[in-house]
Amino acid sequence: MTALYLLPAALSALLLAAHFLRTGNFVAVAALLAFVPLLAVRRRWVPVVVRMTLSLGTGIWLYTLARFALERVRLGEPWLRLAFILGGVAAFTALASLPTWSPRLRAWYRTEPSRPPSAEPRADGA
């Protein structure tokens, strides 16, 4: 069930990787492909990295939308369908980080605060 919560983030990363592959940016492709298995790492910092990566990805999609739409307007070509498609991809990427705030994923990544072992009461009452 946890994998279903992580699926939108993985799909968003793969879409971004495909976008960067199209432009020939192989470093970004490798980083985004490494992002997918990172989702399975159960550390407290992973949701932060997921949110930051997907926020940057949303910005990249919005920049791409603006650049392509302006180019089409300049050439007198239709641009509205392009704007809807890339806007939808940007919205999907932005919303893909929302599950990282869910109680299930917070527990999965152990983001709930826990008491250190020294703060727990001892059995002998001392």
Q: Count structural domains, the chain.
A: 1
12 falls within a domain: yes
Residue 126, pLDDT score: 56
The model's pLDDT over 69-80, given as tens digits with 9 standing for 90+, comes to 999 999 999 999
Residue that is written with structure tokens 């806007």 in the block: 87
119 falls within a domain: no
120 falls within a domain: no
78 falls within a domain: yes
117 falls within a domain: no
Q: What is the average pLDDT across 83-109? A: 94
18-27, 60-69, 79-88, 97-106: lowest mean pLDDT where?
Answer: 97-106
Tell me the pLDDT band of 1, cut-offs 50, 70 and 90.
confident
- Give the mean pLDDT of the chain: 90
Q: H helices of the chain, where? A: 2-23, 26-38, 46-75, 80-95, 103-108
Domain interval for residue 87: 2-112
The model's pLDDT over 107-124, given as tens digits with 9 standing for 90+, comes to 888 855 555 555 555 566
126 falls within a domain: no
61 falls within a domain: yes
At residue 31, what is the residue type? A
At residue 3, what is the residue type? A
**Does the pTM of the predicted model rise above 0.85?**
no
The model's pLDDT over 32-51, given as tens digits with 9 standing for 90+, comes to 999 999 999 999 999 999 99
88 falls within a domain: yes
Q: Could you write out the three-class secondary structure of 7-40?
A: HHHHHHHHHHHHHHHHHCCHHHHHHHHHHHHHCC
